[in-house]
Structure 1
Amino acid sequence: MNLPSRIFAIGGAGKAITYELLKADWVQEAVLRPRPNPESLTVTVIDTAEEEENRDIERINEIERQIQETKDRLRNEHTGRPGEITIEYLPLTRNIQLHDQNDLIGEAAVPRIASGIGMDEENWWLKPEFINENLDFATGVVRKRGLGKALYYKAYAEDDDVRTAIDLPGRGKVAVIVGLGGGSGSGIFMDLVEHLKRTQRTAEITLFGVLPNDDEGTAENANAHAALSELEQLSLEGDDLFKDRILIPIDPTGFGGKKANILQSSDALLEFDRAAIYLIATYYNMMDMEDPFANAPSYAPFIVGIPQVLRYNVDAIQDAKGMTKEILTAKQDAIEAEADIYAGVDRFLSREWSPDGMNGELHDSDRTDLENRLANVESLLAIDLFTELEYESVSIYREIISEARMESDDIVELIDVIGGSIRAGTAEVNTDGEQFVDSIDKQLGDVVGDELRRLAHRKDLLVRLRAVDDNRVESTISYLLALEDEGINAGVRLNQLEAKLEEAVDRRDRLQSDLDDAEAELEEQRRSQQDEVDRRVDEWERSVRPLYEEYADCRSLDAEGMADSLEVALETFVREVATPK
């Protein structure tokens, strides 16, 4: 962000605007942000109101504390050297002698002032009638422009601090902020700039002068008129002190002058001061472009700037965006669920009924259903917030629906035209999202596009549904498509659904109880059968055990040896029988 490197704030109006500028977080961060070549801003506050000095010093101390906190925070967040903001406070009456009139118009004072300022004594303009005898500057010079000019001359001639501060060591941009209706601002600013030009002839100095309200009084308007006349005369003579002269009217605030309601005036001026700092920042950030004021005429060489501030509750906006995103996400989930139902109904109708020739006559309730759904889409697109944010998705689909309505009033034909436009690519946008304002704009476009596609699919399913001659199938599909029964109002329908729900819950509870009983009986039967199996196994084991033991004993005999012995014995017997005695 571009800002001047030097600011001179003169008088009450200049101080007020400059204090608001210095307090602004975004100004502090722009100057103090660490970087290889850090920025710097030096502010010099000049005033004549003595009783405001303590309050000014307190405000400056508070601002300096805020500046230090910002610098410490930025130093931890970024690398590089932080920038600097320096505030100088110059009360013109602090270091000069002002006991009575003689200190301004006396024979000893005038030569000293004239010599210090570099002017002839006879040109000293101040007269006794222009000043109070006691020189009371508690509230400043009180709209006495000539007195404000004289005080500046005296301070410049006698106060080394003032001469040192009115200097430009560098060639940076300079802003002079003053109220043109007051005595201090209108009386001092031109002489101050002349002194600055002596130290830096090429300095680029811009005046930001606050124009008084018509209601503020004759003196304020006379001061402003005189200051503007002198500026125009310098311009006509080619002796321009300023690069540009920005005039800021206070009228838009409704400020009623010092005699108006104090509270209302205070609020109005605070708004004005805060708006003025944005105007100043805007001016300096236009300088990177071609200078829009380069060819200003030499007569009336003024630029009128009307400060405006548009405030947005960022937290509320973020909350609203978050809620909108949640709603759109829920809408997308609902559309996806509905799409699954439509796909299932579509498959069923295609499988059980041939899709060819399935063109039934829509009921009036079907047409009302489609019209209501399209109206809901249009209501979504008509939300004021989306329009104010200039969402691209809104303009795309509004145009599609509007063009479709110009072609037909019949809801079926209207949906066909809309669906055809979407299929033809009328609503196609960049997939990378660059065409959209933000992510919500893109999400809104996705939701509306999907909703219109589902609407076209719904219309096709309803046409096919009305060709089905099975009441149970038609009723079931109507239920799946969330079609309300004809001739039944919402209350009756709700009672029916609640009754069915209670019946279903009771039936579920009964079935659950039966299931629990069946499981208990099954478990009892399982245990009983297991006991019987165990008993019979035990009996069988007892009955076969002797046989098993006998079998085991038999296996222990040498059957083969015994057979061999028997065979030998038989052979012997045979021989004996065969041999006669």
Structure 2
Amino acid sequence: MRYETPDQIVGIGGGGKELVYKLFAPTALDVDTPADLTDDDLRTWLIDEVLEPKGLSANRHQQIRMDAFVVDTDTDEANVDRPRVDRINELLAEREDDHPDPVRGPSLSYVNLVEDATTKARHLLSENKVRRVSEQTGISCWWLDDEMIDPYDDFGGGVFRRRALSKALYGMAQIGTADPLEGVRNSVSSTSDVAMVVGLGGGTGAGTFLDIAKTLKRDHGFPDVTLFAVLPHEDEDDDRGANAYAALSELEYLSLTDQNLFESIVLIPQLSDADEGDFDEAIIRSILSYYTLQGNARNELSVKGSGGPPSFAPFTVAAPQVLQYEGGVIKQAKARLEEFYGNREELLSTESELHDEFESFLETYHGDGPGTDVYGEYNGRGTDSRYGLTEEEVTSLSNRIDALEELVSLRVLPSIGCTVTDELREDIRAAKEYAVDAADIDPDEVSESRRKRAIVNGFPEQTGTVVTPNTGEDKPEDTRLLALYEKEIDAIERRRDLLCAKNMLSELDSVSFDAGDATTAAAVATTTDVAGALGNALSEDTKLSRDTGLEGDLDELDGERKRLETQLHDLDELADALEAERDAQLDEWVTAVSDDAETLANLSEYETEIRELLGDLETALDGAAGVAQGATSTDDIPAEPRVEFSETQFERLNELLESCGLAPLRGSAVRDEVAYLWQAKREFLRDSEGGLLSRGPDTEELQRNHAEQYRGAQRSDLDMAFIPEWDERPETSGRLRTTEIDRRLDALDDLDPVDEIAASVPSFLADREVDPGALLAEATRASLDDPDRLSGFEIPRADVDEPAIADAFDGGDVEAALESLVAPGGAVFETFHAAYLGDLEREREEGAARLRAVEREIEWVTAATDLLERGSGFAGLAEDVMDPSSISEVDGDERDEGMYVTRASPDDPGELLSSDNIGETNFWARDDSTLQSSLRSFTERIENHLLPLRNPLLAVPEENPARDEYDEYRAAISLMSRAIDQNTSYGTGAKHAFDAVDAMLGDTLGQVDPIYWNRARFGGAWDLTLTVFLGGVMLDNVDVFEQSGKGLKDKYEAELGGEPGRHMINRHAHGIDGLDAGRVDGHRLIDDGNDGAYLYRAALLNLDVGVDDRLLVLNNLGDPDALRDELLDRYEFVGFESTQDLGNS
């Protein structure tokens, strides 16, 4: 065998298999799936020991591979057990392949007595099947009936603590074509050292371990099989206690009747206050420690030879203690701390970038507006009532502050040379205290919720103001921690304020975006949606739903954006067509106003000359009229009318008048008017001279006739000559009126081509009408996406104003002025443009404004979504950053110690960092070292707590001086550690270890002589395992056997009831198959009237009270047969008939 491991180890049942798993991989049951197991999960110091080639050992065993087996009946767990075994084997094979020498590594096999043998529950009630079991194994009795088993049971969950059922399943497994235990049988040889691990309170292990041991003994020439039996603690269920009581009874009975199957029976009691993981490690260390025992130490515990414990005391109690120095843990912790620093720094950097982006988001989209200036509130730690934290956010930030405090409180930090932790802890404490004080709340009455809120609101600002951590600025260990500390504080503060800003944002009724001259409220997304996304972005929870509805909002907004873009595109096409129409109509209008333009040009050029000519004409007419007026006789009036205004002048005047659109003034007509005036005067003078107009009988008639002649002289188309009535003062002789001249002057004054031109624009446009759809189709061969939108358009608009064009003609160049008016930017152009494109441009501007608002809203939502995406990456990083509490620490004396495993720091933790294992340190050399102190405390604890004996001494002073104490104890102590040097007689420091333990030996171990010591350079890098094996223990002296209502016997009797019967068969294994080789006179297990029987101790020796039973033991120590008979008298044998006819009666 190996120096420190068994050749085979068989874990039977749920408890046994779990211990074997943990033997190879302590965390095998902690991972989510077997695939998650890695090489780091292996117990490498054990695996490497198995791989180490040693050749022939001191105990004659050849170096072979350690084969491990787990045997179970639970068909449900098989689906997990098989992959777990496969994964462990993969890791073992990888480690074997990596070994520099050709070695054979350990293996692990899984056996299921139900599945591997294809056994069905109904087979257990089949006479044919049962007979085959009898033929194969030699049993003479079958114990199961249909009241004990459901024929449809699929054994999901195992046998549920029914020992007899698992024994039957083992029997059925012997008759199949594929023997589930073939691998176990093939592995074991006559020289094998086999460790069998069983929980005596279970069903599978407690029901089959005896038969499996018998099989190995029978088939392989009596290999050494050591039973490691785990006892249930006092608080476990009655059925577990009953099973353990029956199993221990059977083990003692087999020993008393010379049927012992085991080299040693090692009991490992579970104390009720022991941690499960702590206890499992204790069991594993007990097994490994046992196999370090050599020579006499091993023989002293063996019940198979003559020198070992007597048959009435076959039990060995194991009491292990494990000291685990924090060397590996500190190194691992330092490495993990470095990993934590790196990951945390990366996370804080990512978080800072996230905060920067969040701030930019607030500044960009929420930086102004009355009551909506979220960025302003954020920048100034606002006082808006909406700017605050939810209870959940307070708790999250409070937890982060606590995590920071936990980080700076790690005990590993001082161990690696960090000196500022005390100052940082004080800084946190003071900052919390000041934050609560600043909140002005009564510390005695404040709720925890309010206290947390006060701390979160004030803590970041208070840090560094009370205590200034600066004691280690030159040490890299300090500067890195301080930098991380400051970044954490900053991150907490920014996260707090950003969460407040997010909450304020969610309270806003709406958010508006610039859409030209006005703002437009968000059309789709809500501030609540966006704030929800921002909150999720800040969360470190990767399981938090990232679906905030924004993706749907973006889809809707994108659809609206595309619709608006299409609409604007269509309007642009229509605009192109209308612009062409506008330009065409401008050309027509220019043609239409060409006459007015020409008039305007002529007027501009000739108006002054016209006025001068008309003035000259008026002067000339005044002269002509004066001739008539001044004449007193007909001779004074020339025969031919004469006007001092030449024909050339008339021609020029008329040319100019006509060029300006005014009626010409004919010279002949003017002269005729002068002639009329002169003739009228001439007639007047002639009549007046003859007296015809003033006297005579016919005066009135004559006057009337003359008046008609006289007035007739004025009749002309010019109506310039004015002839007064006869009764008027004739001496005026009439006059030439300037009506025609005035009319032309008035017309000239009224002549305003500019107004005509301006006024022509509305009327011109009023005569036009455009069908936008038809125009668009004709112009572009396209149609609008929404033709109905054109139905409200009036093109051209009829309500346009006259353009203001007067100033345009100030320069006198009418053609240039007109060109400027119809050019882009000109007044007429703008009027036409407004008429043709005004409605469209207004619609286009509104659409463009809506598009800008939608695009801005898309930017807003996209920015929030990007933040959410960045936050998701941040959360993913956060998930991968270990919690500070997961970094292993150096434990001080104040940490609670386990019942079996103690973790300690040496006097100089720094020495751990410079060494690879405990063997490289000088811990042993210090007389007052933690190592020796721990060994002394271990021994004291073992004496007082871990040797569960009812009466350790069994002494009866003065009754029999020759036999006054129990002297059948055998003690062997194993010390395993890499600090042990196997090349010296005592080992490095081994003598100190022995002395430390010897000094603490109490009454129990003190009376054992000799105590056999074994040391082994074996164990974890920083472990020391001290295990005391106390052999020669009687069953009656095991404390858990009877404990005032909680003992194993009490639990058995609770199930037993008033009378023994078949109902107790399920608690038993030995004898129920009719097989028993014990033949002690007067103590026959199976009498002639029964096929099978079960047994149990009906009475115990009272070793607590009185001296009678103690004397009985002490007086018979020299007569083992007598003591055997006394013990067998306390057994009850309960016989029964076979439930199946096995044909062997």
Q: Which of residues 14, 39, 57 in structure 1 aligns to 2:64? A: 39
Match of 2:212 among 174, 192, 207: 192
Q: Is 2:12–2:209's contact at 8 Å kept on the other side of the alignment?
A: yes
Deviation at 1:154, TM superposition (A): 0.6
Instruction: Tell me the equivalent position of 1:137.
Output: 155
DSSP-derived class of the 2:106 partner = strand
Contact 1:50-1:139 within 8 A present in 2 as well: yes
Which residue of 2 is the match for residue 175 of structure 1? Answer: 195
How big is each residue's C-alpha offset from its partner over 1:16-46, in whole Å with a ceiling of 9 and x where there is no partner?
1111112321111011124567531112221
Match of 1:303, SS state, is strand
Answering whether residue 301 of structure 2 is matched by residue 293 of structure 1, we say: yes
Contact 2:234 2:272 in 1 (8 A): no
Letter in 2 for 1:203: P
Which residue is equivalent to 1:90? 111
Q: Deviations over 1:176-225 (max 9, x none)?
A: 11111111011000011001111123311100011112222111111111
The answer to whether the 8 A contact 1:43-1:87 is kept is yes
Q: Is the Cα–Cα contact under 8 Å of residues 64 and 104 in structure 2 kept in the other structure?
A: yes
Distance 1:435 1:158 in 2: 53
Alignment partners' CA distance in 2, 1:326 and 1:436: 29
The alpha-carbon deviation at position 322 of structure 1 amounts to: 13
Matches within 5 A, 1:240-279: 240-251=260-271, 254=274, 268-279=275-286
Q: What residue is the counterpart of 1:302 in the other structure?
A: 315
2:99 is aligned to 74
Give the 3-state SS of the residue equivalent to 1:209 in structure 2. Answer: strand
Distance 1:314 1:166, change over 3 A: same
Partner of 2:133: 113
Paired with 2:240 and 2:417, the residues of 1 have a C-alpha distance of 56
Q: Which residue in 2 is equivalent to 1:52?
A: 77
- TM-score using structure 2 length: 0.27
Residue type of the alignment partner of 1:385 = D
Question: How big is the shift at 1:391?
Answer: 5.5
TM-score (norm 1): 0.51
* Inter-partner Cα distance in structure 1 for 2:987 and 2:68: 44
CA distance in 2, matches of 1:144, 1:186: 9
**Residues 62 and 325 of structure 1: CA distance in aligned 2, closer, same or farther (over 3 Å):** closer
Instruction: Tell me what 2:291 maps to.
Output: 284
**What SS does structure 2 have at the residue aligned with 1:61?**
helix
Post-superposition shift, 1:10?
Answer: 0.5
Report the residue type matching 2:179 in the other structure: D
Percentage identity across aligned positions? 34
Structure ranking higher on relative contact order (CA contacts 8 Å, 6+ apart): 2
1:61 aligns with 2:583: no
Distance 1:282 1:199 in 2: 28
CA change 1:244–1:159 in 2 (3 A) is farther
Q: CA deviation at 1:394?
A: 6.5
CA distance in 1, matches of 2:227, 2:130: 30
Matched residues in 2 for 1:63 and 1:253: separation?
A: 31
Instruction: Name the amino acid aligned to 1:165.
Output: G
**Gap change, CA 1:160 and 1:112, over 3 Å in 2:** same
Q: What's the offset of the Cα at 1:164?
A: 2.1
Q: Which of the residues 47, 66, 69 maps onto 1:28?
A: 47
Letter in 1 for 2:124: L
Question: What is the RMSD of the two structures over their aligned residues, measured on CA atoms?
Answer: 3.5
Task: Tell me the CA shift for residue 134 of structure 1.
Answer: 1.6
TM-superposed CA distance for 1:157, in Å, is 2.1
Asked whether the 8 Å contact 2:233–2:272 carries over to 1, the reply is no
Q: 1:115/1:36 Cα in 2 relative to 1: closer, same or farther (>3 Å)?
A: closer
CA deviation digits over 1:351-393, x for unaligned, max 9? Answer: xxxxxxxxxxxxxxxxxxxxxxxxxxxxxxxx98379957647
1:2 maps to which residue? 4
User: Which residue is equivalent to 2:164?
Assistant: 146
Letter in 2 for 1:286: L
Amino acid in the other structure paired with 1:22: F
Change (3 A) 1:108 1:308: same
Structure-to-structure mapping, 1:311-330, within 5 angstroms: 311-315=324-328
Q: Within 5 Å, give how 1:474-485 maps onto structure 2.
A: none
Secondary structure of the equivalent of 1:240? coil
How far the C-alpha of 1:302 sits from its partner, in A, is 0.9
CA contact (8 A) 1:253 1:272 kept: no
CA, structure 1 residues 197+220, in 2 after alignment: closer, same or farther (shift >3 Å)?
Answer: same
CA contact (8 A) 2:112 2:180 kept: no
Q: Distance in 2 between matches of 1:218 and 1:26?
A: 39
Change (3 A) 1:284 1:95: closer
1:325 shift after superposition: 12
Letter in 1 for 2:251: L
Q: CA deviation at 1:317?
A: 5.8
Q: Which has the larger radius of gyration?
A: 2
User: What is the letter of the counterpart of residue 319 of structure 2?
Assistant: I
Q: Is the 8 A contact 1:166 1:192 kept in 2?
A: no
CA contact (8 A) 2:92 2:107 kept: no
Contact 2:75 2:156 in 1 (8 A): yes
Alpha-carbon contact 1:11-1:178 (below 8 Å) kept: yes
Whole-angstrom CA distance in 2 between matches of 1:325 and 1:106? 69
Rounded to whole Å, the distance in 1 between the matches of 2:73 and 2:235 is 24
Contact map agreement 2:226 2:265 (CA 8 A) in 1: yes
Instruction: Map 1:357-368 to 2 at 5 A.
Output: none
Whether the 8 Å CA contact 1:116–1:158 is kept in 2: the answer is no
Q: Is the 8 A contact 2:66 2:106 kept in 1?
A: yes
Uncovered stretches (5+) of structure 2, i.e. residues with no partner: 26-42, 57-62, 303-307, 335-410, 419-904, 910-921, 930-985, 991-1145
Deviation digits for residues 282-335 of structure 1, max 9, x if unmatched? 0010124533324312114111113433322214667899999999xxxxxxxx
Instruction: Spell out, residue by residue over 1:483-541, the C-alpha distance to the aligned partner (whole angstroms, 9 max, x if none).
Output: xxxxxxxxxxxxxxxxxxxxxxxxxxxxxxxxxxxxxxxxxxxxxxxxxxxxxxxxxxx
State the SS of the aligned residue for 1:306.
strand
Displacement of 1:158 after TM fit?
2.1
Distance between the aligned counterparts of 1:435 and 1:299, measured in 2? 37
- Mapped to 1, the partners of 2:276 and 2:72 lie a distance apart of 18
Q: Which whole-Å CA distance do the structure 1 matches of 2:118 and 2:77 have between them?
A: 19
Q: In 2, Cα distance between the equivalents of 1:100 and 1:392? A: 64
Which AA in structure 2 matches 1:223?
N
SS at match of 2:189: coil
Write the letter of the residue equivalent to 2:279: F
* Matched residue, 1:423: none
| Separation in structure 2 between the aligned mates of residue 9 and residue 108 of structure 1, nearest angstrom | 31
Secondary structure of 1:129's aligned partner: coil
Does the 8 A contact of 2:119 with 2:172 survive in 1?
no
Deviates more, 1:110-119 or 1:5-14: 110-119
Give yes or no for contact 2:23–2:284 (8 Å, CA) kept in 1: yes
- With over 3 angstroms needed to count, the CA separation of the structure-2 counterparts of 1:307 and 1:136, relative to structure 1, is farther
Change (3 A) 1:232 1:55: same
1:104 touches 1:110 (CA, 8 Å); kept in 2?
yes
Query: Within 2, Cα distance between the matches of 1:2 and 1:160?
Result: 33
- In the alignment, the residues of structure 2 paired with residue 324 and residue 273 of structure 1 have an alpha-carbon distance, to the nearest angstrom, of 30
The amino acid across from 1:53 in the alignment is A
The answer on 1:155 being equivalent to 2:173 is yes
CA distance in 1: counterparts of 2:309 and 2:16, whole angstroms: 25
User: 1:132–1:66: structure 2 CA closer, same or farther, 3 Å change rule?
Assistant: same
SS in 1 for 2:907: helix
Q: Tell me if structure 1 keeps the 8 A contact 2:117–2:176.
A: yes
Would the alpha carbon gap of residues 394 and 251 (structure 1) be closer, same or farther in structure 2, given more than 3 Å must change?
A: closer
Quick one: which amino acid aligns to residue 15 of structure 1?
K
